[in-house]
Structure 1
Amino acid sequence: MTVEGGPHTGMRARLRGPVLRVWAKHDRDSDGWLPLWRHMEDSAAVAGRLWDEWLPLSVRRLVAAELPDSADDARRLAVWLAGVHDIGKATPAFACQVESLAEAMQADGLDMRSQRSMGADRKLAPHGLAGQVLLGEWLENQHGWAVSQAGQFTVAVGGHHGVPPEHGQITALDRHPQLLRTPGRSEVLWQRVQQELLEACAAEFGVQDRLGTWRSVKLPQPVQVVLTALVIVSDWIASNPDLFPYFPQDASRSSEDRITAAWRGLNLPGAWRAAEPPADLQELFASRFALPPGARVRPVQTAAVELARTMEEPGLLVIEAPMGEGKTEAALGAAEVFAARSGAGGVFFALPTMATGNAMFPRLLNWLERLPAHDGARHSVLLAHSKSALNDDFTDLMERGPVKALDLDAADGSQEMRPSRSGRAASAELVAHSWLRGRKKAMLSSFVAGTIDQLLFAGLKSRHLTLRHLAIAGKVVVIDEAHAYDTYMSSYLDRVLSWLGAYRVPVVVLSATLPATRRRELVEAYAGRRKGDSYDFGTVSQAGDYPLLTAVSPGGTPVLRRPPASGRGVDVEIERIHDDLDLLADRLEDALEDGGCVLVVRNTVRRVLDAAKVLRKRFGDAHVTVAHSCFIDVDRAAKDASLLRRFGPPEKAEGRPARHVVVASQVAEQSLDVDFDLLVTDLCPADLLLQRMGRLHRHLRGGEKQTERPERLRAARCLVSGVDWAVGVPEPVRGSVAVYGAYALLRSAAALLPHLDGGPRRPVRLPADISPLVQHAYAEDSPVPTGWEQNVEAARARYDEYRADQAERAATFRLGAVARPGRPLFGWVTAGVGDADDTSRGKAQVRDSRESLEVVVVQKKPDGTLTTVPWLVPDSWGRTLADLALPADQVPTALAARTAASCGLRLPIQFSYAETMDRAISELEELHLPAWQVKDSHWLAGQLILALDEDCQTQLAGFTLRYSKSDGLEVTRATE
């Protein structure tokens, strides 16, 4: 057990005797080990490098603002906490775990009972908690700190394994002092060893003379969080034996050589250092977004960037503007300004779904590639959702320049090397770094596009929550489609916004159709409004202008701006149509006599398929396309790409059909830049109905008079179905009520009534009528038509009960509010959910949805062999993907396994009910293939496999499942 190697510098020079035998790490295979003093020194050195070269300036400023000597104190504190984080390993409860190392310590007088004789009591002293107690004792006894004062610093030690201790755990350990020091003759020696290590850390890391000054500091909880997270990251890097080898192999290397080699091997990209963008907004947008010749920056974009520049301090910016106004570009322009002013080191773009995340990711990359770069600058990039490894843009980045670094928290498996499929030119500046992978670390990447769940997880009590907070604390956060989140999700979002305000994180919120009451809730959550505030936030909710920008700094007063729209408007004639498919087919046949492209949006997949069946009989299979959520991933992506290719903007689309009908569910509602001549839609909430209208005459085709559209479709028209309009009070179909609730549908119908046919009416003018319609539909005091009162009140009572239930259930695992400065994080995630991840179960924790079953769809041939599904087209490199063999007795080839994984499918709600889900899982597990469960089969290991027969059918849990490339999954009762 070598301890004396190497020059006596650093911590080693300050230590003598038994303390050198205390161990921190052990490798059972090689019998290598690492002394505790060395790991403390390694961790502190990593923290120093992270602070200087990786941590965003905004986070460093957050910590520095709370300390007497500002930035110098902040760095010293971070390094010192990382250095002392494992002091709890200098205890009998930890040291007894490796017999040979324990015996060496005993030979130097550090007596301890064996691990077996300690029994269950040992679990009362996990080394993080033990370290917190020891550090607290030392601060109290040696430096005169009060118990309440020490906790806000020592919690970074106690919580460095992901969960800050609870008060009960601290009390329980206090009743078992023998776990910290063996009673008897060696008790004093144990105490001396612990003090030697703590005193050596204080001297080595420069805090000896600062501890007296820090006694009066009250650390806000956000500062405690980021310090704890920094300790965790430092520990994980310093615990990597590839970077920091164990003794005896590395016993002779100096401390400086050791950290220099490790840091070079890690090669971690630094934080973004944003420069103030050009003052000329035309120059800014042209350089960042490749504006077409003659295009001008739009008023909303100009107002957003100018407001970001003039705010007292970067804060919350809410952009409400019509579809097609360039809100995404406005958000990125404002983000660049915010980052330059605040020191943020990256951007997180949060979107409603994986599909919208995939669509945003290349746009984010394009923007990044046009940002001015410092010499040698490298940026870490992430696509944050559960199927990001199937995205070509992201996997191309993962395959560039692999870095040797161990992933400590997840066995993701290595990506097979393959040529680029995305067609994106290689950029040396953008990397998906190997260390920044895995469920707990990935969000630490500088630039992230992902689902809103990743942001909402920051409001969920879960393990390693501090890392999620560190990840967002150093970024500008952009939240798209803010209107799309219900009460349950909004409860989490508001709590996250309150923490973002406390971190002083700049946030940009985007929406085309935001109810005024929701606008006020967002602003209040972020600004941290308290009782007695002088500003009346009612002004925010009373503003009816549109477009509208609302800005507020943390703790500040909101500012409103009212830029004009870009100038182009669309008048949409609204007409009700009875919910009869033959009548719909007749109407469309008449409308499309001279050609045209129609979008029919239905509120349920069942209604999509029923409508498509009738319309295909009338127009032919080739002239009707189906799009909904129940397609396998690869088909869903192909559907989106095909819709954009055929129905996208005139300058980008190709092959627009002369006559075509697209029947879609809500997937056509958002984030698809598609343009149709006629819209038919089921009645839905007013804001979503307006989103659907945004796909109608979205672009000019043949100038202002739309001369390139068929003559009878040059006036924009929307037919509203899914309702029995013949009765006194409209009755939405049952499927729509199940999705949206009767109250929202009735309020939407009431708002639309002045625009519907059957009486005096006028068209809906977009964008002028967007805000009035949404506010009318959502304002609690809006009048309802005569005779509707009883129905609306009954529906509202059910709605209020449902919302109250959502809020109550969301509160179960929701993170608490930011507490007063100085209050330690003890019990911060008590009664939490454990680990939070991007699986269907994890998403169900922050969305009010049942856990859904996800399967990988393959085909089972008559001889029992398995293959990939037969309709897949070759990839961009010409490789065959259809009918690839999936042998049951061995790991499939990397290409076959990845192709199969790309055929993931989320089963519909029928399979989310407990009894049906249990039965389905049981039946699916009958096709359990042990050969696929090994590490080399990371694409398929642990997946549920749904095998279709040659007719693309199967039976599951009493249902018949039929799948086709054109229609997706159709589910019927087995008896139907």
Structure 2
Amino acid sequence: MVDVVDPRVVWAKSVLCEHGRVTHWLPLRQHLDDSGAVAARLVDEWLSKQVISRLAREVPGGHEGVRALVVWLARIHDVGKASPAFAVQVPVLADRMRHADIVAAPGLLTHPQRSRVRHELVGHLVVRDHVLAVCGPESRVIAEQLGSVVGSHHGVPPELTVLRSVAEYPELVGDGAWEQAWQFFLDRAAGDINLAAYSEKRLSRPVLSLLTAVVIIADWIASNSDLFPLLEAHEDPVEMDLTARAELGWKLLNLPHRWSALPVGSDVDGSFRARFRPEAAGARPVQQAAVEIAAGLERPGLVIIEAPMGVGKTEAALLAAEELAAKYGADGVFVALPTQATTDAMFSRVRRWLDALPGRDGAVSVTLAHGKASLNDEFDGLVRQGWFAATSRGDETPIVAHQWLRGRKKGVLASFVVGTIDQILFAGLKSRHLMLRHLALAGKVVVIDEVHAYDVYMSQYLQRVLHWLGAYGVPIVLLSATLPAQRRAELMAAYEHRAVPVEPELGYPVIVASGTRPRVLPLPKPDTRVQLDRLDDDLDTLVRFLRQHLADGGCAVVVRNTVGRVQETAARLEAEFGRDQVTVNHSRFLACDRARIDRDLLRRFGPGGERPVRHIVVASQVVEQSLDVDFDLMVTDLAPVDLVLQRVGRLHRHDRSRPTRVTSPRCAVVGVEDWTGTPVRAVAGSRRVYGEHLLLRSAALLSEQDTMTVPADIAPLVQRAYGPDPLGPDAWQPAMEQAAAEAQTRAQRRVEAARAFLLDEVGSTRHSLVGWVRAGVGDTDDDPRGVAQVRDGAESLEVLVVQSDGAGGLSTPDWIERGAGQPLPVDLPIEAAQAKVVAACALRLPIGMSHPGVDLDVITALEANHFPGFEASPLLRGQLVLVLDPDGSAIVKHGKADFRVVYSPSEGLIHERR
């Protein structure tokens, strides 16, 4: 029998100086008390009512039961630190424990299995056995479940085989005096928890995930020594004033309070004017209907808004989000978009909405969630102003970028998040700290824009995320200009955990919501009749067409499906019309140049733009989604019909006077080898991008009509394009059937590929978190590695572009708007402001330099550009660097053949293989 020991000397945290001497330490008892106190504050003041209500559906005792359980878990989460494997790591602190008869033999420090016996795993076993002992053998399931919360608090749920192997090393886990220590901490944590009420209880994985996330956050806050100071090395453990310590730590952290949303109410017109446009007559039909449907939902649900471009779907979604948040207790909104460009544009819109948002009791937190958020001036301005950054109005309820709610793991926990779709899709990816991503979404209303833009691979992740968010009871609003009926049915079925029905065509525009009848809305008036032309795919024909229709002036856009076709077309048109009358826009510009071009396009072709007399924009698909721009005339490569419609949405978009020959909207379709072919066949580049199947079906539809009426024709064309019925002449059918079979095979391969790291379905209530993310990807983020997991492979290689001065020095590019031609230190650290300039010079290399078989050679060649000054900067570290000569060119070695690249601020990057 071991004498009674003194567990107060069991240590939890230590700080060592550079010589290895302990300078500070914290007893385990104190850290657990701190964590419990923080957990109580999180429940009382920070967690959304929506999350608490979801937990209370399963946790005994309702709201108070949730609080008691969360506090108990936080107060025992590190009980496994009372183990020889952990304690022996700091000999001086282990000696102090040894004097209190809690002995960790010094020889264990070199035990070959010590690193495997991690404290969270010991804690899992301790808590599991404790619950079994208190509640009896019928509590086996709940004991394993609660143990798994403790075992997962480092972000990775344990594996069953690992837990079994840990139990095989009692000398590292501990017994005797160690068991007394465990009991001390468990008894101390008992508080308000009634474990007997859990004896036959089963919790679902969503609830276990949320509980774990709250414990992780409580642990992180309590581990911040600026908020909860450590003892100096010589100090003995003493009873601290826990209330005062927790009060001070929480006050210093100063997390923004919950947003308490208010219902929009019946005066939707007034709410619309107050939030968005004071001068407007009132809300549009789609906005009125979205609020009414949200208010009428009997339970949290999925709302899908399908409506034409330019009718105010974003405002409809934000108003509906307010109504849903008020109804179900969400304390924030997550708005997700396809690209960083669309996300940056949306951030400004959401922030203006927040300025007018009612229900704020103090500051509300906001974040921009994508890999280059620091390059967004508006968001970076909030960050640079400190922990709290006020709005431009300087009122008492500011929008804040809170310093603690930053970084790839914590940023999405802010109340209001605008981010790329990847940040949503990561919630369906087996990865470290997945439960934090789930908590970040579980307390919000989620709005996902441009749902039609996500391909087969990404859709597997989107549907799995909808499946989990449905289990959490998260209200969701999906937006699209066009959705195939079956795709709509798949999204709704994923959220509602049911089989996919055969979906009939419902009409258009339409709002579909869980548990309600579809609401078909009147088409916006007036209809726009667009004249369709089918032109040969040669530049002479294009030039003649543009000369004819722009003879009296006007602004045209030529949309190409590949950057190579953009550049080839732009070169010819510049020769014909002059460089001052042609603007080029595509994805192969420096990030800062692309932003400059986008701003210029909005200035000239946006609402109220300063339009030139005659101008031609030659662009890739970037004009489909990113920009609210308007043209008099359009030429587009053949694309899937829904994308053609998106492009046509940039034609006569705004009310304005136009030159005589372009007073009526006109779109010429090009990019086919021969319009008289059997069948019509798109050019090779387009087939590589979109595949043969959808292009053939689009060609069949566009070949049979000379006009298109928008928005009346949007739904019929999309449903026919993606429906099961044959299209086109009989002579086309053999080719179309073969293309359809090939597309089905490719789609199935992509579905299978997506399953590699796809999170399992919610599952039964018998499962703990053990093995939840088995064989996952580890840490992930909105970087090339993370994006590759949810976007069907890595994007093309990204580089940072700098210039050589010809004498061994480096500088920023000499043409950029801000920071041009600045000398860059090669060996000394780059200052933060200058590092931001360099980071804004990011560039995507062509696929021809990035595909397998080429990429490794290109990476090797670029890694030769290694500069210590870059590696010393957190913003630039690990990035590939492309060094251009003073004339803007470079040679990139690749085996026996080299790539020559030339960069122009007006044309972007051009490459050739030599």
Please show how residues 562-711 of structure 1 align to structure 2 within 5 Å: 562-650=520-608, 653=609, 655-701=610-656, 708-711=657-660
Return the offset for 1:143. Answer: 3.0
Partner Cα separation in structure 2 for residue 434 and residue 559 of structure 1: 44
Deviation at 1:253, TM superposition (A): 4.0
Q: How does 1:377-392 map to 2 (within 5 A)?
A: 377-392=362-377
**CA distance, structure 2, for counterparts of residue 201 and residue 253 of structure 1:** 16
1:929 aligns with 2:870: no
- Indicate the residue corresponding to 1:90 in structure 2: 82
Aligned to 2:464, the other structure's residue is in SS state: helix
The answer to whether residue 55 in structure 2 is matched with residue 66 in structure 1 is: no
User: Could you tell me which residue of structure 1 aligns to residue 224 of structure 2?
Assistant: 240
Aligned equivalent of 1:865, options 804, 809, 822: 809
Amino acid at match of 2:248: A
| Matched-pair contact (CA < 8 Å) for 2:126–2:147 | no
Range that drifts further, 498-507 or 427-436? 427-436
**Corresponding position of 1:3:** none
Look up the match of 2:402: 433
Could you tell me which amino acid in structure 1 is paired with residue 457 of structure 2?
Answer: Y
Correspondence 1:960 to 2:912: no
C-alpha separation in 1, matches of 2:841 and 2:134: 62
Pick from 178, 181, 185: which aligns with 1:190?
A: 178
Deviation of 1:159 (Å): 0.2
Aligned to 1:891, the other structure's residue is in SS state coil
Q: Tell me the alpha carbon deviations over residues 233-266 of structure 1, each in whole angstroms, 9 at most, x when there is no partner.
A: 0101111111111113795641111111111111
Correspondent of 2:16 among 23, 28, 40: 28
Q: Does 1:219 align with 2:203?
A: yes
Q: Spell out, residue by residue over 1:172-215, the C-alpha distance to the aligned partner (whole angstroms, 9 max, x if none).
A: 1232233221xxxxx3222111112111111xx311xx111122
Q: Distance in 1 between matches of 2:321 and 2:593?
A: 34
Tell me what 2:126 maps to: 134
2:253 maps to 266
Aligned-residue offset at 1:887: 1.9
How much does 1:373 deviate? 4.4
Instruction: Provide the rounded CA distance (Å) in 2 between the counterparts of 1:668 and 1:488.
Output: 23
Distance in 1 (CA, whole Å) between partners of 2:530 and 2:301 is 37
Whole-angstrom distance in 2 between the partners of 1:785 and 1:579: 22
Native 8 Å contact 1:135 1:154 kept in 2 = yes
How far, CA to CA, are the matches of 1:574 and 1:649 in structure 2?
25
Whether 2:350 is the aligned partner of 1:364: answer: yes
The correspondence for 2:439, drawn from 470, 482, 486, is: 470
Q: Measure how far apart 1:638 and its partner are.
A: 1.0
For 2:202, the aligned partner's letter is: K
The equivalent residue for 1:11 is: none
Counterpart in 2 of 1:461?
A: 430
How far off is 1:138 after superposition?
Answer: 1.0
Identity %: 48
1:740 CA displacement: 0.2
Distance 2:682 2:407 in 1: 45
Q: 2:606 corresponds to which letter in structure 1? A: G
Match of 2:685 in 1: 735
Give the one of 191, 194, 200 matched to 2:188: 200
Residues 347 and 448, structure 1, Cα contact 8 Å, conserved in 2? yes
2:750 & 2:186 partners in 1: Cα distance?
48
Relative to 1, partners in 2 of residues 1:374 and 1:304: Cα closer, same or farther, differing over 3 Å? closer
Whole-angstrom distance in 1 between the partners of 2:719 and 2:14 = 63
1:310 maps onto 2:296 in alignment: yes
Q: Which residue of 284, 290, 308 corresponds with 1:298? A: 284
Query: Given residue 713 of structure 2, which amino acid in structure 1 is its aligned partner?
Result: D
1:292-316 residue CA offsets vs partner (Å, 9 max, x unmatched): 34x3311111111110011112310
8 Å Cα contact 1:320-1:513 kept in structure 2 = yes
Supply the distance in 2 between the matched residues of 1:914 and 1:365 (Cα, whole angstroms): 41
Deviation at 1:710, TM superposition (A): 1.3
- 3-state secondary structure, aligned to 1:969: strand
**1:851-930 mapped onto 2 (5 Å cutoff):** 851-874=795-818, 881-930=819-868
Q: Once the 2 structures are TM-superposed, how far is the Cα of residue 794 of structure 1 from its aligned partner? A: 1.1
Per-residue CA distance 1:696-754 (angstroms, 9 max, x = gap):
111222xxxxxx21111111111000002132210110000000000010011112232
1:836 lines up with 2:792 in the alignment = no
- 1:268 partner amino acid: L
Q: CA deviation at 1:612?
A: 0.5
Look up the match of 2:32.
Answer: 40
Alpha carbons of structure 1 residues 728 and 364: separation in structure 2 relative to 1, 3 Å: same
Question: Could you tell me which residue of structure 1 aligns to residue 383 of structure 2?
Answer: 398
Which SS does the other structure have where 2:266 is aligned?
coil
TM-score, scaled relative to structure 1: 0.90
For residues 320-355 of structure 1, the C-alpha deviation after alignment (integer angstroms, 9 at most, x for no partner) is 000001000000000000000010111110000000
State the distance in 2 between where 1:746 and 1:590 align: 29
Alignment of 1:742-757 (within 5 A): 742-756=692-706
Offset of 1:777 from its aligned partner? 0.3
Q: 1:423: how far off?
A: 8.0
SS of 2:796's equivalent in the other structure is coil
Preserved contact between residue 259 and residue 360 of structure 2 (Cα < 8 Å) = no
SS, match of residue 854 in structure 2: helix
In the TM superposition, residue 16 of structure 1 has moved relative to its aligned partner by: 8.1
Q: 1:427 to 1:357 in 2, by over 3 A?
A: farther
Structure 2 counterpart of 1:509, one-letter code = L
Q: What does residue 145 of structure 2 align with?
A: 152
How far, CA to CA, are the matches of 2:506 and 2:861 in structure 1? Answer: 55
What do the CA deviations read for 1:27-47 (whole angstroms, capped 9, x no partner)?
112521111111110000010
Alpha-carbon deviation of 1:649?
1.7
Q: Find 1:944's aligned residue among 863, 873, 880.
A: 880
Aligned residue identity for 1:641: R
Pairwise CA distance, 1:52: 0.8
- One-letter amino acid matched to 1:883: G
Shift of 1:427: 7.8
1:385-418 deviations in Å (ceiling 9; x for gaps): 0100010110111122337xxxxxxxxxxxxx9x
Q: How does 1:318-397 map to 2 (within 5 A)?
A: 318-375=304-361, 377-397=362-382
Distance 1:430 1:443 in 2: 15
State the shift of 1:140 in Å.
0.9
* Within-5 A mapping of 1:384-533: 384-402=369-387, 429-529=398-498
Q: 1:583 to 1:379 in 2, by over 3 A?
A: same
Q: Which segment drifts farther, 726-735 or 169-178?
A: 169-178
Q: Output the CA distance in 1 between the equivalents of 2:557 and 2:772.
A: 49
Task: Give the TM-score taking structure 2 as reference length.
Answer: 0.96
Q: Give the Cα separation in 2 of the matches to 1:676 and 1:423.
A: 34
Q: Which residue of 1 aligns with 2:661?
A: 712
Quick one: distance in 2 between partners of 1:721 and 1:477?
Answer: 38
- Once the two structures are TM-superposed, the CA of residue 119 in structure 1 deviates from its matched residue by 2.0
